[in-house]
Chains A and B, each alone.
Chain A
């Protein structure tokens, strides 16, 4: 079955750019049935959508983060990536990648295990 795994630095300095990669295994990121998404969760708080990407490179972002977010896809590596610029302590969170069910109202299944990113000097 398909599995997703996030990777990237666990510590980012304020004002710098957070960069994460999600590697998809057991399935093709080029499938027409899915989008691929990023979600985050600050400690002890709820879930926040960051954005999603289709295999063509078409993206949709959370309006509250849109000015700082870039999501890209590399179909040759079966990976998609997140960049979040000008980070502050408020961006400290667990970051999850997930497969988005394109024809089921964007339900998310499965999710990666998540990776903690801390913004601190």
Chain B
């Protein structure tokens, strides 16, 4: 069973700053990784699929990179609406999440 480890658990940043979120798989998953954003009281929203492809309607400030076991979600310049929890997912497994909070 693949385990996904997200780091850090919490990221404290200011609007306009760059956010870098990590997801590490316990074994190679090729490019089989998705990223989601979840705001309080809302369902998760797909941001990135196949490690680096933005889903429909997702702003260009969101980008995904990586393959094998190490993946990164980057938000180039944080907007106020980007403060949320982010999850990675591979197959039937989710990571534990990273909370991006306002510093």
Chain A residue with Cβ nearest B56: A109
Whether the pair A108, B93 counts as a contact (CB closer than 8 A) is no
A111 CA to B36 CA, complexed, in Å:
11
Q: Classify chain B's interface size.
A: 20 to 34
Mask: chain B, 27-61; 1 = CB below 8 Å from A; 0 = not: 00001111010000011111001100101000000
| A112 close to B (CB within 8 Å) | yes
| A104 close to B (CB within 8 Å) | yes
B contacts with A: majority SS = loop
Whether the pair A47, B87 counts as a contact (CB closer than 8 A) is yes
Which residues of the partner chain A approach B42 to less than 8 Å between Cβ atoms?
113
Q: 30 pairs across A/B with beta carbons < 8 Å? A: A47-B97, A49-B93, A51-B92, A60-B92, A62-B92, A63-B1, A96-B44, A101-B49, A104-B50, A105-B31, A105-B33, A105-B49, A105-B90, A106-B34, A106-B89, A106-B91, A106-B92, A107-B34, A107-B49, A108-B36, A108-B44, A108-B89, A109-B45, A109-B46, A109-B49, A110-B46, A111-B45, A113-B42, A113-B43, A114-B43
